[in-house]
Chain A
Amino acid sequence: MSATMEAVASAARADAPPAILLDKVNKWYGAMHVLRDVSLSVALGERVVVCGPSGSGKSTLIRCVNRLETHQEGSIKVDGIELSDDLRALDAIRREVGMVFQSFNLFPHLTVLENCTLAPIWVRHMPKAEAEALAMEYLERVKIPEQAMKYPGQLSGGQQQRVAIARALCMKPKIMLFDEPTSALDPEMIKEVLETMVGLAETGMTMVCVTHEMGFARQVADRVVFMDRGEIVEQGPPGEIFENPKTDRLKLFLSQILRGH
């Protein structure tokens, strides 16, 4: 199944408009210039890993894509729709873009199943039974269907993050954004979440992932984007980025990452 989807995805890649198109995006927090002329194009079905030191603007960048942060200059187009103050365009974009957070952000007062069915019911107006069947399908895919009736507080961090992935997938998004999905996890739980993400990548999902997991980047990413001080410094296939860094900033970053591991 995944092979055919991959074929479809790569066929779409050739002529479809880019899934995400950022053109000279600038953003300030107060007087601090956190994104500087960032231009990036992500094709449909492409997997992009964004890395860089903390404070480099990588989280801000992907949070701009579904307008959890607003950019002040430049343009962002998602699935061909321009992000602006237009609430309808925003609704349309958020329906197509799923997001997974560093701190999971599951709804603690709802069961795992209710977490997953909430958006399909209220946003897609899906009948409850259908939404539940869909949710169970995705909970199977992230390998925790037996936890469906539990509350998030009863699960481990890794399980919670997998529920968060399933919750986002229940909206059948075209694009998935991951904002440091494994940074808040214990080492043994990082593995189970990364495996889930690798599985998702194999289905041909368009993914933009902020992470420091270099193994994951090598295995899954079509392209690695290195950011520092609000700018995209270097980008390319993972092999090239990791073996032949061209800039000093990337060399320094890689040496620090490798020392840390």
Chain B
Amino acid sequence: MSQTTIDPRSLRPPPKRPIRLSWSDERVRGIFWQVVVVGIVGSIIWWLYSNTVHNLEVRRIATGFGFLNREAGLPIAESLIEYSPTNSYLRALLVGLLNTLKVAVVGIILATILGTIIGVARLSRNWVIAKLSAVYVEVIRDLPLLLQLLFWYALLQGLPGPRQALHPAEGVFLSNRGLKLPWIEWQGAHSLALLLFVAGLVATWLYRRQALAKQIADGNPRPVWHVALLTLVALPLAGWYALGAPFTPDIPALRGFNFQGGLTLSPEYFALLAGLVLYTAGFIAEIVRAGIQAVPKGQWEAAQALGLRPGTVLKQIVLPQALRVIVPPMTSQYLNITKNSSLAVAIGYQDIVSIANTTLNQTGQAIEGIAIIMLVYLSISLSISFFMNWYNARIALVER
């Protein structure tokens, strides 16, 4: 049935078509338009550059990044690293970058989880759940993000002050100063336990992969839970215990007009995170729904008719096909969260834009300030894009 001998004529290279120097030649026109476009873009860039250099000279503005080492003198309310106003602008900008990442990374994770749940819920056979998700998506998509951020921030500002804080459980306070949670005094032993836990996650994942590969090879299912228990619970606990099992609770308490100790989620961070997550989850829900619906019903039926369990059908048949549809638009949403986090400036959360903005106001280095903001967003966005494109290529390998 199939032809295995190769027709020798098919080995001949394709003929070379010479270019006719005529306006009716398709390729001549193609080259002409490319030259025109490159010329226009090139001249715009040259004009912008020469104009800027000329204006800077006329106004006698010094350029350069020397200001980064000067003392910032700008206070920052929340920071992941040690910071005081006597630190340099460079450190202040680093704090801003970390604050942006804190919102973007947590936001991407939470929005993905919430969006997936809502997207699946919208396909539910339960009428109430399906309609509720539909209403959520329609409402949240139709309101501007800035409005939603202001709404959440105003809502949090409406909470009572520290002295009348809501106090639902021991050590938990919700007030207009944010959410206070009990925490522990962080020590080396805790870092070790955390490190072991993360290593355990990787180990469990690798073991599970291997167990599945072995199951495919010889048919015997292998349980994974004991490895998970050992690497995720036993080893981190052992590491913590080996370093003396330190445990000093750090419980927030009202001292004067504010709280001391404990873990703080500021109202600004909370409002920004809630706004970004709830907003983006609406879009992600639609992407997930479209992805699942893009897999024809016949795929489910054929897999079920073969006796496959729903979990296996989802993992082996539906997800591989749905992800091809889901991943590219999902990348856009991740980029949107990151870039939309710059709206932080509206509610006073000190992200990279807010701090760079203050920096350029204080130093007058507008071009450098804007350049830094652009560079930061470009780097984060390109990292996300590269990762998602890599992932997309990886899952695309399973198709033709």
Binding site for B on A (CB under 8 A): 66, 68, 91, 94-95, 97-99, 101, 103, 105-110, 118-119, 121-130, 143-144, 146-147, 151, 153-154, 164, 167-168, 171
Chain A residues whose C-beta falls within 8 Å of the C-beta of B321 in the assembled complex: 108-109
What interface size band does chain B fall in?
Answer: 20 to 34
Instruction: Return B42 CB to nearest CB of chain A, in Å.
Output: 44
Instruction: Return A59 CB to nearest CB of chain B, in Å.
Output: 12
Report if A122-B400 is in contact (Cβ < 8 Å); known contacts: A103-B298, A105-B299, A109-B321: no
B25 within 8 A of A: no
Q: Are A123 and B317 interface neighbours, CB within 8 A?
A: no
Chain B residues whose C-beta falls within 8 Å of the C-beta of A68 in the assembled complex: 301, 304-305
Chain B residues whose C-beta falls within 8 Å of the C-beta of A171 in the assembled complex: 306-307
Q: Are B1 and A143 interface neighbours, CB within 8 A?
A: yes
Chain A residues whose C-beta falls within 8 Å of the C-beta of B2 in the assembled complex: 146-147
Q: Are B307 and A109 interface neighbours, CB within 8 A?
A: no
Grouping DSSP codes into helix (H, G, I), strand (E, B) and loop, the B interface class, with mixed when no group exceeds half, is: helix
Chain B residues whose C-beta falls within 8 Å of the C-beta of A154 in the assembled complex: 400
B147 within 8 A of A: no
Lowest 8 A-B CB distances belong to which pairs?
Answer: A105-B302, A119-B306, A151-B400, A105-B298, A94-B307, A99-B305, A125-B219, A123-B307
Instruction: Return A14 CB to nearest CB of chain B, in Å.
Output: 29
A147 to B219, CA, bound (A): 25
Q: Are B1 and A125 interface neighbours, CB within 8 A?
A: no
Report if A151-B299 is in contact (Cβ < 8 Å); known contacts: A94-B305, A125-B219: no
Chain A residues whose C-beta falls within 8 Å of the C-beta of B320 in the assembled complex: 109
A-B CB contact pairs (8 Å), 25 listed: A66-B305, A68-B301, A94-B305, A94-B306, A97-B305, A99-B302, A99-B305, A101-B302, A103-B298, A105-B298, A106-B302, A108-B399, A109-B320, A118-B306, A118-B316, A119-B307, A121-B216, A125-B215, A128-B216, A128-B217, A128-B218, A147-B2, A151-B399, A168-B305, A171-B306
Q: Are A107 and B299 interface neighbours, CB within 8 A?
A: yes
Of the residues B215, B304, B306, B312, contact of A168 by C-beta under 8 Å: B306
Instruction: Return A158 CB to nearest CB of chain B, in Å.
Output: 11
B308 within 8 A of A: yes
A51 to B219, CA, bound (A): 41
B348 within 8 A of A: no
B398 within 8 A of A: yes
Report if A127-B1 is in contact (Cβ < 8 Å); known contacts: A109-B321, A122-B308, A167-B306: no
